[in-house]
Amino acid sequence: MQLPEAFVQKYTKLLKDEAPAFFQALNGEPTRGFRVNPLKNKIQPTDHDTTDPVPYCQFGYYGAVSGKTIDHQSGLIYSQEPSAMYVGEVAHPKPGDRVLDLCAAPGGKTTHLASYMDQAGLLVSNEINRKRAGILAENVERFGLQNTIVTNESPNSLEKHFPEFFDVVVVDAPCSGEGMFRKDHEAVQYWTLEYPLSCASRQRKILKSALSMLRPGGRLIYSTCTFAPEEDEQNMAWLLQEYSDLKLLPIKKYPGMTDGRPEWADGNSELTKTLRIFPHQMRGEGHFIAQLQKQVTDSEIKEPKPQKSNVTRPQRQDWHKVADQLLSIKIDDSRLLAFGDHLYAMPAGLPDLTKLQVTRPGVNLGVFKKNRFEPALPLALAFQPKDFQNPVSITETQWADYVHGDTFTISEIANGWHVLTCHKLTIGFGKVVNGVVKNFYPKKLRFSVNK
């Protein structure tokens, strides 16, 4: 990989004696990893090796992910670069928290945050780019999140709806991407010496919006995948200068992680509480993480009005004709929300979504068709086999038929809708008609498995 000359000069000056090892690491192979989804009843993967754990991530392992596997398609694992895993570890929200992932696509941070929330509280996962917001929603659905909505808003628009609302706000900021050079060679092509400065300016605008949505006493987690001091220490120095009610909190540093460098900003020793990951010091790509807390004030915070159900009586009846026979749990009718032709289960405590661009307002339960209701794949992935009546266990061969879109036969199973399971994981719905399982795996997701 040919690094820009200006980049080489910049980091030779900044890193001094470390520079040769740094540049050598950038020409090495990227590190790959994945997380196991604890919301899937703590089941361990069968298609991926978990003998090489990431030491600083409770759910993380080193290794590449194979997409055409039951592990991946069921949402049991999520591919994520190992250094990036530490952002979710630092944020570590509690069940019941209100959490915002402000720049969330493609979903690595969101799914990690949700891993700690145990389906309780509210997680708002936002992405400004519409196409990327769609990808984010797909990953949220595959991971099986019940307490998460996906919005497609700019940060300054979102702040009008959630003033001082969140306990934890994560800003994994759009950046110059220097830390991803060896993983994404295209990032090298658009890098210029001025690019980190323009990114830093945009990041400061995002941070202003993020802080307006953070409640007093709440925590802001800021991260980038760049080495640039302009986007890292210098942005944190700016925050501390601009906001007297903010303080940096220390972050536990594992072997290979280093302190932020005050000398690359204004010399404030508090900046050593931030964290850097360099690829010549750890198994991972470049990353910067800071954790800040907003001080408690006496100001009264006005709670937003809740989102109300808009489901009609006929829609509710069509839903219950299927749900009462399919589910062994009850989803309260007050949480039902019609969104176009689809029916969603809203997270508890969801504020009014009026005037918000929403991609996913909760769990997609299914679609209303003429005089009937058809359950959707996200409903299967969001719950455990025990949450359904009469789950049907299928073989790996039948699973391969299923994800390819084929029908298959099964004996001694009652007619009607059933959730299908494989390796004790829910993998979708089928409708049994006289021993034949009609296939309802979404057409856009179908693929061939090499048997």
- Is 109 part of any known ligand binding site? yes
- Is 242 part of any known ligand binding site? no
Query: Which of 57, 175, 225, 422 is an active site residue?
Result: 225
Q: How far is CA 424 from the centre of its chain?
A: 24
Q: What is the DSSP string of 235-260?
A: HHHHHHHH-TTEEEEP----TT-EE-
Burial of 132 (0-12, 13-18, 19+ CB in 10 A): middle
Neighbours of 87 (CB within 10 A): 28
Output the CA torsion 37→42→44→49 (10° steps): 50
- Is 302 part of any known ligand binding site? no
Tokens describing residue 213: 């949505």
- Is 332 part of any known ligand binding site? no
> What's the first-to-final CA gap in the chain, in angstroms?
37
Q: What is the DSSP string of 346-380?
A: PPTTPBP-TT--EEE-SEEEEEEETTEEEE-HHHH
Total residues belonging to the chain: 451
Q: Where are the alpha helices (DSSP H) in 160-251?
A: 186-189, 195-212, 233-242
- Is 104 part of any known ligand binding site? yes
Q: Is 188 helix (H, G, I), strand (E, B) or coil?
A: helix
- Is 127 part of any known ligand binding site? yes
Q: Is the preceding peptide bond at 106 cis, omega within 30 degrees of 0?
A: yes
Distinct helix (H) and strand (E) counts, the chain: 13, 22
Q: Is 422 a catalytic residue?
A: no
Contact 200, 173 (CB under 8 A): no
- Is 107 part of any known ligand binding site? yes
CA 411 – CA 317 distance, rounded (Å)? 30
How much helix, strand and coil, in percent to the nearest 5, is found in the chain?
30, 25, 45
User: Residues 313, 147, 275, CA angle at the centre, nearest 5°?
Assistant: 160
Active site positions, annotated? 225
Which parts are annotated binding residues for S-adenosyl-L-methionine?
A: 103-109, 127, 172
Residues at the binding site are 103-109, 127, 172
